[in-house]
Amino acid sequence: MSTPDRVIVRDLLCRGILGIHPEERTTPQAVVVSLTLECDTRPAAESEFIADAIDYSAVADKARALVETGRFQLVETLCDRLAAACLEDPRVAACEVSVEKPDALADAAGVGVTIRRERYAPGA
């Protein structure tokens, strides 16, 4: 079995409402998002048309909008919503999503959650 191709967006800095503490519910904080989308990049490589590619700029814009307009209590929930958004593109077979809060703990560079989701295949 071959390793799938991957499109990545790494360390996308966003600001959003994320957390359970009172100050986190009112003040947007730094949120760092990384996305790895498993897909077949051969059609884009052959045609050199952006329409045949996973547009990482559009993926980043969608992720940023979700972080900035959402009001999530748990990092796990944000990760799940980001993964669902990535899998809306039928060319994405699976994705890995990491969300970190760099300012959550004074003694740590960041805290966060990483998840992996695959496209549901009926009968699989």
Residues recognised as catalytic: 101
45, 35 in Cβ contact below 8 A? no
How many CB atoms neighbour CB 120 within 10 A? 7
Crossing angle of helices 75-86 and 56-69, rounded to 10°: 150
